[in-house]
């Protein structure tokens, strides 16, 4: 009986040792597989990154720009646009319409001569918002380059949404039709329908803009049209004709004078 028990213990021990050896082998193999997968994953990330870089550059005909390089001469790195949360129920009646609005941007100043005699409520509103810092660090988030030749600016969320909490009725709508109503240098309100003017506006940088007579004209660019034109010449992101400009254009400060 003793011999039999000893034999069973020896067999059990041998079995245990074989199990341990197999476990150690499995763990070693697992560690090797993990390192290989990690290496492959790292290479895949690099390959994808290089592929995306190549794809972005293959139609440009120019070397890749560094992350800090600006595609337009004279432009500086823009500040991050900020979201505006202020709202008002109306424009204070004591606000005096300014004769001029200057938009300081990361690419240069754009000076607008206002039209208070023709669009008094609109110019009063733009003046008030300017005085409140509503256009500070505000992105001109949209550029169009076909049929419409405009920059759209003044969204409190920097994406075409929102307004100051009140709306201004339409004023000084153009009488000319088609592309003659909004020549280069025109500054007009963007809207979502009749009498829905808020804070958003567009700057026309080139003749030929085809729009209906539905947008309040409140000013004319008297200096800085070249700033808009050089940014527009860099195009729209993704090579489309309507979207965010390649060269970001941010209003760093607006002043009323």
Return per-residue pLDDT of the chain as tens, 257 residues: 555 555 666 665 665 566 556 554 544 444 433 232 333 333 333 333 333 333 333 333 333 333 344 579 999 999 999 999 999 999 999 999 999 999 999 999 999 999 999 999 999 999 999 999 999 999 999 999 999 999 999 999 999 999 999 999 999 999 876 667 999 999 999 999 999 999 999 999 999 998 999 999 999 999 999 999 999 999 999 999 999 999 999 999 999 99
Quote the pLDDT of residue 38: 34
Strand order in the sheet with 186-189: 138-139, 250-256, 100-105, 108-114, 217-223, 186-189, 201-204, 150-153, 142-144, 242-243
Quote the pLDDT of residue 2: 52
User: Which residues touch 154 (CB under 8 Å, ≥6 apart)?
Assistant: 135, 138, 190, 199, 200, 201
Total residues belonging to the chain: 257
Quote the pLDDT of residue 56: 34
Quote the pLDDT of residue 13: 62
Q: What is the dihedral of CA 89, 219, 143, 80, to 10 degrees?
A: -60
pTM of the model: 0.73
For residues 241 and 257, give the distance between their C-alpha atoms in angstroms, rounded to a whole number.
34
For residues 120 and 52, give the distance between their C-alpha atoms in angstroms, rounded to a whole number.
51
- The token duo for 87 is 């709202």
- Region of 84 (left: φ > 0; alpha: ψ -120 to 50; beta: rest) is beta
Phi, psi of 256 (to 5 degrees): -110, 130
Quote the pLDDT of residue 166: 98
Quote the pLDDT of residue 66: 35
Q: What is the dihedral of CA 105, 109, 113, 114, to 10 degrees?
A: 10
């Amino acid at each position: 009986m003793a011999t039999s028990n000893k034999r069973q213990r020896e067999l059990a021990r041998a079995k245990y040792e074989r199990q341990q050896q197999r476990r150690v082998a499995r763990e070693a193999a697992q560690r090797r597989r993990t390192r290989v997968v990690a290496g492959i994953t790292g290479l895949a990330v690099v390959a994808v990154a290089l592929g995306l870089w190549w794809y972005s550059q293959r139609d440009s005909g120019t070397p890749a720009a560094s992350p800090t390089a600006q595609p337009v001469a004279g432009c500086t790195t823009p500040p991050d646009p900020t979201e505006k949360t202020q709202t008002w129920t109306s424009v204070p009646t004591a606000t005096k319409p300014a004769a001029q609005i200057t938009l300081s941007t990361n690419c240069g100043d754009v000076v607008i001569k206002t039209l208070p005699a023709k669009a008094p409520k609109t110019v009063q509103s733009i003046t008030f918002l300017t005085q409140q810092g509503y256009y500070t660090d505000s992105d001109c988030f949209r550029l169009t380059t076909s049929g419409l030749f405009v920059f759209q600016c003044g969204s409190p969320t920097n994406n075409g949404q929102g307004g100051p909490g009140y709306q201004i009725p339409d004023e000084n709508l153009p009488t000319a039709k088609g592309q003659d109503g909004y020549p280069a240098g025109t500054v007009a309100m963007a809207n979502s329908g009749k009498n829905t003017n808020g804070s958003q506006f567009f700057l026309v940088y080139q003749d030929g803009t085809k729009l209906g007579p539905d947008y309040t004209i409140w000013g004319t660019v008297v200096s800085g049209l070249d700033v808009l034109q050089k940014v527009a010449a860099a195009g729209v992101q993704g090579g489309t004709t309507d979207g965010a400009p390649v060269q970001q254009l941010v209003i760093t400060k607006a002043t009323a004078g």
